[in-house]
A and B are shown apart, each in its own frame.
Chain A
């Protein structure tokens, strides 16, 4: 699964994030106070304004501190009842309708049907729930104000903070309930949609391989075609079977009856829905001169995600793993990797490009080539490094070469270089090849003129699999986080805007949130074609993105306008949550466990957004006459 941004450790992430959050909240608070003070100063003069501002802050803090959970719950229940009356039934009906007809649009014969089905249910659910959250949260307060039901509420002893919080909690609860039901239905839909079986009869099999006492020992054949695919099966005369994986899954095959009258029974698909727990390492590339580099060769791909290395040269793709201990990996290292293969000549068309896997001790430099393999592109290759290595292709002691200001730095240094380490005939993974929990895995391409490519997440150690169901729930938790964010923004906007305007503002925040990275790139000038005004000019004049605009007054005006707009875009991109990052759909669909770290980071981020939106919402509602 491509992961295009680095996943930080929560320990590394939290301090920086907290400081950033505090700075943004402080700036917004200061800006709010300043605006409040200026408005009051214009009305009553600066001296009165100071007192008024202080009193507002004081009463605001009191309102926030004295929030009563009981009253919040009562208001949340009110929001709940309101929601049930308004939108939820419609959304639920649409969801069921979509699932009923989804079979028309989903192709079970696609290369990875599991991925397709999971992406579909997660995306459909998130769109519907986010839309529901958007409508509920944006229209609720304005409708209450217009229909004057809010006046009845505020005559009761409730604080504006409780009104706002009650709405947020109420809508979050309704969204949660809906998500739970949708999740359960989706799960059944996915399991049902992917469920299939094939049949195999004696006539489908032909014998191959050696014959013993006139009797063939091995048989192979293909199953019936279901969902646009078949499986190649292998059966031996003892009844042992092997089913080739196809479309990301395989089946169990059981044989009964005697030879000549065997009956075959295939089980349900396996391996389609999984939650691999990957342990990622840090990648570096070694070029053909043996020097370390941060990036591999670009073989002309527009998407520069993978770096490539040249075959039949010292070049290698190197991953360094930490904390590799006997306790964590008692049976050795199980690893999976995905390689990009690039050929500069046809080579042997019928066989894949040959490569090798080596394990290297990052301190002593001892390297043991444990496996030679034939590459398979776009398919997970699985290999195992045993705890005790008795079979290997080559072994050596190789120094890491790093370009340093003082020259080339060698690890191990010339003084520590000990070639006799490679003279053993057996190696212990943890004693000989792991140093302080660190180990390096090297992938090399063994054919001249051919290239292997990989990015950091393309190779990982595979610990025991997590529960798919739990991962599925985590996927829905990601949608829940998005939903809470939308509710927060919707309620905030609805405290000072009319229903439809609040909806548009929230929708703007939502759409903007999905394009935060683009906005940030646009604001910092990392996008071809200039800022918004320049882009518009180019569009109208049908100019390409790379040529410079003709110098002149017009261009200067365009550039100055863009600078102002880019400032605004920068502020927006810094304030809006990156909605796309909260989606775990890819993790679930690609079969990777959503790590607790990731869950914690995203949850804290949501809390970090919801708190200020609640505060802003509260202050706006407080300033409205209705809540006084």
Chain B
């Protein structure tokens, strides 16, 4: 009796398990497609959701059997294991045990192959933090590349992550091109057959290779991948900036003339309005979604400003003198203290506050002006005021977004750098530096004199260029070097210096520039 009951109980369990499996199977049945009959099934709800959100392994990237095995082997304790490994990795880094650090990172990423932050954080750790621990620059380079290769592995497993692709570009371009030892790194990078494989030698520049990755990231976003929390204006600027940086690097390497001009030309076109080769959309023409949800193009600022001026004029025409009248009324309502604060040339702290409050009170919006109108004019003015405010807001937004990426500086730079005068000026200064390094002071001075003269011509040719702080900083470095050459030759700094206006405008903020005092001039004499 007992054994029979036990048998029946087991049978019941089995049947119950079978019954419960049915809805599970229905929910999770896989998608199928049949090429011969043309019939296909989208599968169960789970399969459909997986396909909709692109969550299946094949959608995310390459499938790594090792990783899958390890994940299974942790028996559901993957999170705990990853935490332990993370702690261990930190410990190994602290104790400078690089062998075990590499091995632990390898295991960590096997456990968490789709956790983007793990790839990003640890690749940064290898390329930036671990590499800096080494004294030998060749070892440092090796660890930079190790971090990049680590990231590349992450890219293979997470093909839908533009952030990893962008990081690849950033590491290759910026870490190699901006490090203290960037000259050495760039040379090692060019000679790194293992990294480049079949890439032609002339394409083995860190800025160009970085650009390839930025381009891949852009393409992915264009196909609909999410940027996550990254600012689109920063994201899209880097592909175009790579050409700028490449052009700069060419000149630093002593390559001028037509090659440099072509490079700056490409950079200019990529930054502004093209045309550019391939699928690249010029940066200035890119649709950029701002944090306020508006879609702007950086090239549109001038267009918006022009429209704004025209609209303002039309608005002024239908509301003649209204703004001034409102302003006068409001000014009359200010307290004497506020008026005094507004008019004061030098304000106390309290006056600053009062002046700010008064300025708010005096601010007359287009709507304020329109509301003063009456009849049919009022509704027309209100409509215009609304459009004016919106246009002004967008213009201001574009201006601010341009400032984030220093848009105008780079546009101007890429433009004037193509000129014969600028190319010659750069080359002459480069030759001057080379001569100075070889202690050929006479030659260095001659090259500098000619180079500075060429810079004068550049500044005269491009109106307003002297106001560019970036160029001002560059020129101050050149002037400081010129003074070192003169000092080495025991020669005084010329009183009628050809770039005196640059010193007057930018000298105060230049590091290492000490203006000559009268005493110093006397000493020189």
A residues lining the B interface (CB < 8 Å): 2, 101, 104-107, 110-112, 115-116, 119, 225, 230, 302-303, 305, 341, 343, 346, 349-350, 352-353, 375-378
Contact = CB atoms under 8 A, between A and B. Distances in A.
A251 B133 CA distance: 28
A174 B106 CA distance: 35
Nearest to A101: B69
A378 B140 CA distance: 12
Given A107-B103, A119-B100, A346-B180, A378 B194 contact: no
5 contacts: A104-B66, A104-B69, A105-B66, A107-B102, A302-B94
B103 to A, nearest CB: 6
B96 A378 contact: yes
A377 B103 contact: no
A361 to B, nearest CB: 32
Interface residues of B, number: 25
A303 B66 CA distance: 34
Contacts of A350: 137, 184
B interface majority secondary structure = helix
Contacts of B70: 105
Contacts of B181: 349
B103 A303 contact: no
Nearest to B70: A105
Contact of A353 (B69, B98, B135, B184): B135
A116 B103 contact: yes
A112 B102 CA distance: 10
Contact of A305 (B95, B98, B107): B95
Contact of B106 (A107, A341, A375, A378): A107
Contacts of A302: 94
A2 B83 CA distance: 25
Nearest to B106: A107
Contacts of A349: 137, 180-181, 184
Count chain B CB atoms within 10 A of each CB in A110, A111, A376 and give the residue with the most.
Answer: A111
Given A104-B66, A111-B99, A346-B180, 11 more contacts: A104-B69, A115-B99, A116-B99, A116-B103, A225-B194, A230-B194, A303-B94, A349-B137, A375-B135, A377-B133, A377-B139
A105 B99 contact: no
Interface in B127-155: 133-137, 139
A225 B196 CA distance: 14
B69 A111 contact: no
Contacts of B97: 2
Nearest to A339: B135
Interface of B: 66, 69-70, 94-100, 102-103, 106-107, 110, 133-137, 139, 180-181, 184, 194
| 10 closest residue pairs by CB, A with B | A341-B135, A377-B135, A104-B66, A112-B99, A349-B181, A303-B94, A111-B99, A110-B102, A115-B99, A302-B94
A377 B136 contact: yes
A368 B94 CA distance: 36
B134 A377 contact: yes
Contacts of A116: 99-100, 103
A343 B134 CA distance: 10
A3 B99 CA distance: 17
Contacts of A225: 194
Contacts of B98: 111, 378
B107 A105 contact: yes
A352 B139 CA distance: 12
A61 B110 CA distance: 57
A353 B134 CA distance: 12
A111 to B, nearest CB: 5
Contacts of A376: 135-136
Greatest chain B CB density within 10 A among A110, A115, A302, A353 is at A110
Nearest to A119: B100
Contacts of B180: 346, 349
A116 B97 CA distance: 11
Contact of A111 (B102, B133, B184): B102
A344 B173 CA distance: 26
B93 to A, nearest CB: 9
A541 to B, nearest CB: 22
Given A303-B96, A378-B98, A352 B66 contact: no
A301 to B, nearest CB: 8
Contacts of A343: 135
B174 to A, nearest CB: 18
Contacts of A101: 69
